[in-house]
Structure formats: C-alpha cells, structure tokens
C-alpha cells in the first residue's frame, strides 16, 4: 500500500509532468509578466514603481505645469510616459484593452499602425504588434490567450477539487457502509422519517426569503446560503447519529436496525444525474452572469456524482479484502479505515478521474463562454475569443489559436490521466 502511494506521489513531481502541461502552468503563473500594458518596472520622478503588480487603481504623475496629480492607471499612456527608464512585458497589451487604430479584426499578417507624438501614422514596433491579430474592438488575441490560460486552469483544477472532496467522501461512505453496516435504534429511524417535514420547513420554507435575497445579491452568496440550508436540513434529521444517543432497555423501539446508506446515496445521485448539467448551468447563467468563483462552485457541485460512483465501486472491491477485515476486527474506526487504508489504494483511479474532470470542466467553461452565457463581460477567456468570431467568420485567427490551445491542453490532460492509471 505504501509503495503504491509513494509511486503515485512521485508521478506528481513537477519534473515528471508532461512538457506541454508544464508550459501551460508556467504561462498561467507568469501571465501578468508575459502580457501587460503596464510596465513591470518604471523609474518615474526618482522613484521605482511596479504598476503591473500593484492593486492601487491610481498613479501619481507630474502634469505639464509641474503639479502632482493622481489619475486612474487605465487612462495612462504608459508607453509615452516620460520616465528615467521602464521595463515592459513581452506582449505590451492587456486582455480586454482596445487598440482603436488596429481594431476591426486586424489579422496577424496585416500591417499594424499607431499614431506617434507628432500625429503621424507609423508602423507598430515588433514588441507592440498584435502577433495573433485583434478582435473587432482591437483587443489583442495573444494577451487574451495568455490570461485565458490562467482562468481556464484555475476553473478546471479548483472545480475538480470541490467535486473530488465531496465525491470521495460521499462515495466512500456509500461503498463502505453499504445498506447494513450503519445501525441505529428503531425509535430513531421513526424519528428520521417524522423529522423530514419539520426539517424541510425550518430549512427551506422558513428561510426562503433569505435564500432568494441572497441569490438577488449574487449567485455566489445564493449558493452559500443554499448550502447552509441543506446542512441545517441534514443536521435536524441526523443529530442523534452524530451524538451517538441510545435508549436503554430491550423492546421493539430500542431494537437495532440497519440504515440503507448506499441505497439513499445512490438514489440522490440518480436524482442529480437525471438533471442535465449543461441545461442546469445554462439556466443559472441566464439568471445572472456568474463570476469565476461562482462558476467554479457550480461546476464543482454538479460534477461530484461521477466521482462518488467510481469511489463507491472501488471501495466495494476493497472492503472485504483481508487487511480491511483485519482492521475491522481490531476495532479500527471507520474514518481511519477509509482515509488510511482504502483511500491510498484507490487514489490512482480517483486522481485519473479528476484529471479527466479538469479537462471536462475547462471544455464546459469554454462552451458556456462561446455561447455568450459564461463569465461576465470584460473577462477574456478562450471561449470569449471564439465567441467574438461569430460576428466575422473571416477572422480565422479568433477560432484557430484558441481552438488549438484548448485541443492541445485537453489531449495532454487525457494522455496524462491515462498514464497515471
């Protein structure tokens, strides 16, 4: 078991990652350094500044009459700002920044111009060119691809972390406990059934105004409030199990019976699977454009079912093997058996599924953005770049370059997932 776990961990060494995946991760990490309209370092008025890494929306400049004035950073023409010295990114454009002189779909091979200080229209220098073309409003495609890499990887890995966390726990409990391994007194089973109605009332009916108000503020607060109501619902029903309360005596009501944990969880999973995930996400997105964090939560909480089913199947294989039965016989706690003995043995399968899930989440976000119902306006992703091509089918660079980036990443993730397994 330890050898298998150590072998799996060794595969996650950064040096062992596929070269293409390393390349994507480095681009995501260095995105602000690779593509940014603001200088990385600038010596202005005798002081060093780092505008590309500063969260301050204002920058103090010296006006023509010698006065100091704070203006918003997005209104500053950094390239023509007189300074002692400055260092810019390789791509001197930010995602979403418009270049009106090279708007209306400038192709990667066309001549690109800018207006100099004397009002003359001259050719852009190499480092200021739009190397992969522009959109209708003059947004740089290469800057969008670089920063879109960070957004896509963040959404993919973060959403699968959420899905994996809930899926492994729920699937592990379903597989290990089954329908006969969790016992309680009959009186509590009666209580569980009778408590459903009041729990539903106090968890969903009574705070309904609170939940609806939360959704009106933002989808993120709405989802958090909904999760709190779900937690309250199960707490009201299952608190006797958590506290391990038992009534003394031997009669009909104190007799021990089994709780069909596996049956209940599998029915819940089937309910989730009966709801088309894409339709559900499209419905939520149509109500209000989700933020990046909200989209991560939506994808995460709609992706746990597949992980739970696979975890359950793997746990069912292992729960009757000799070393697990030996742990049971000496009274090892369920938590320790699951997390110290079963989980390390099924981790290669789970991690492989999660890697495939990352690819699926990235493709889902791209599809939503391409349909125009993804992230809010102004957030540049691979999908929004492809969406911009719908207005001009001749702008091939808006489809080819983002599509190539998506294809290469998805193929790499899928091959890496198979290699891990």
pLDDT on residue 348: 84
Residue 208 neighbours by CB distance under 10 Å: 11
Summarize the confidence of residues 31-40 as an average pLDDT.
89
Closest CA to 42 of 29, 28, 54: 54
Under the banding of pLDDT at 50, 70 and 90, the label for residue 3 is low
Return the pLDDT at 201.
83
Q: Where is average pLDDT lowest: 23-27, 158-162, 186-190, 339-343?
A: 186-190
Residues 14 and 133 in one domain: yes
pLDDT at 181: 77
Confidence label for 330 from pLDDT (cuts 50, 70 and 90): confident
* % pLDDT > 90, the chain: 14
- Segment 134-171, tens digit of pLDDT: 998 889 999 999 999 999 999 999 889 889 988 998 89
Q: How many domains does the chain have?
A: 3
Q: pTM for the full model? A: 0.81
Domain boundary among 24, 56, 88: 88
pLDDT at 274: 84
pLDDT at res. 421: 64
145 and 203 both lie in a single domain: no
Do both 306 and 327 map to the same domain? Answer: yes
- Helices assigned H by DSSP within 14-132: 19-29, 31-34
| In a shared domain, residues 127 and 152 | yes
Of 108-117, 212-221, 373-382, least confident by mean pLDDT is: 212-221
**Summary mean pLDDT of the chain:** 82
Boundary residue ending a domain (88, 121, 154): 88
Cα gap 372→278, rounded to integer Å? 14
Same domain, 23 and 122: yes
Closest CA to 364 of 351, 381, 380, 343: 381
Domain co-membership, 150 together with 190: no
Looking at residues 35-61, what average pLDDT do you find?
Answer: 84
Question: Where in the sequence is the domain holding 269, given as residue range(s)?
Answer: 1-36+92-182+259-421
Do residues 197 and 315 both lie within one domain?
no
Same domain, 29 and 77: no
pLDDT for the residue numbered 12: 54
Mean pLDDT of 93-112: 86
Distance CA 164, CA 304 (A): 6
Residues 160 and 193 occupy one common structural domain:
no
Q: Are 102 and 129 in contact (CB under 8 A)?
A: no
CA 60 to chain centroid, in Å, comes to: 36
| Alpha-helical regions (H) of 201-342 | 208-217, 219-243, 261-274, 277-287, 292-301, 304-318, 322-329, 334-336
pLDDT at 7: 53
3-state class of 393 per DSSP?
Answer: coil
The verdict on 248 and 264 lying in the same domain is no
The predicted structure's pLDDT at residue 27: 93
Residue 406 CA, distance from chain mean position? 16
The pLDDT of residue 123 is 86
> What pLDDT is attached to residue 406?
92
Residue 340, pLDDT > 80, answer: yes
pLDDT one-digit tens code per residue, 229-256 = 888 887 887 777 766 777 777 777 777 7
Whether 25 and 111 share a structural domain: yes
Give the Cα separation of 391 and 370 in Å (integer).
12
More confident residue, 290 or 105: 105
Q: Which of 257, 291, 321 is the last residue of a domain?
A: 257
The CATH number linked to 290 is: 1.10.3720.10
Average pLDDT over residues 165-186: 84
pLDDT at 143: 92
One domain for residues 220 and 294: no
How far is Cα 234 from Cα 216, in angstroms, rounded to an integer?
A: 25
Residue 2 is predicted with a pLDDT of: 47
């Amino acid at each position: 078991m330890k050898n298998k776990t150590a072998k799996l961990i060794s595969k996650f060494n950064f040096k062992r990652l596929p070269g293409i995946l390393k390349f994507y991760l480095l681009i995501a990490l260095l995105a602000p350094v690779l593509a940014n309209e603001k200088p990385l370092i600038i010596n202005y008025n005798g002081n060093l500044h780092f505008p590309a890494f500063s969260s301050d929306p204002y920058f103090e400049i010296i006006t023509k009459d010698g006065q100091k004035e704070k203006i918003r950073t997005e209104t500053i023409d950094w390239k023509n700002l007189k300074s002692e010295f400055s260092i810019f990114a390789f791509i001197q454009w930010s995602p979403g920044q418009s270049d009106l002189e090279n708007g209306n779909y400038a192709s990667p091979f066309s001549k690109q111009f800018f207006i100099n200080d004397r009002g003359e229209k001259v050719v852009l220098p190499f480092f200021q060119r739009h190397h992969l073309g522009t959109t209708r409003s003059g947004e740089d495609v290469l800057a969008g691809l670089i920063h879109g890499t960070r957004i896509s990887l963040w959404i993919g890995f973060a959403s699968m972390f959420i899905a994996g966390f809930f899926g492994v726990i729920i699937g592990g409990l379903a597989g290990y406990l089954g329908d006969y391994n969790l016992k309680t007194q009959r009186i509590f089973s009666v209580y569980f059934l009778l408590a459903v109605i009041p729990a539903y009332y106090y968890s969903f009916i009574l705070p309904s105004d609170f939940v609806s108000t939360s959704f009106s503020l933002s989808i993120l607060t709405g989802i958090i409030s909904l999760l709190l109501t779900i937690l309250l619902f199960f707490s009201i029903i299952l608190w006797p199990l958590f506290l391990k309360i038992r009534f003394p005596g031997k009669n009909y009501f104190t007799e021990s019976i089994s709780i069909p944990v596996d049956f209940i969880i599998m029915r819940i999973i089937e309910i989730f699977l009966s709801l088309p995930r894409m339709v559900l996400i499209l419905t939520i997105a149509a109500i209000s454009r989700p933020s990046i964090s909200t989209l991560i939560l939506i994808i995460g909480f709609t992706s746990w079912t597949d992980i739970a089913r696979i975890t359950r199947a793997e746990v069912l294989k292992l729960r009757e093997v000799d070393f697990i039965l030996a742990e049971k016989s000496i009274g090892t706690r369920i938590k320790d058996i699951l997390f110290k003995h079963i989980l390390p043995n099924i981790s290669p399968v789970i991690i492989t599924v999660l890697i495939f899930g990352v690819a699926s989440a990235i493709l889902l976000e791209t599809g939503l953005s391409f349909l125009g119902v993804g992230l809010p306006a102004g957030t540049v992703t691979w999908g929004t770049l492809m969406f911009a091509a719908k207005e001009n089918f001749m702008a091939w660079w808006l489809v080819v370059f983002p599509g190539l980036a998506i294809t290469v990443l998805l193929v790499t993730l899928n091959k890496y997932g198979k290699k891990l397994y």
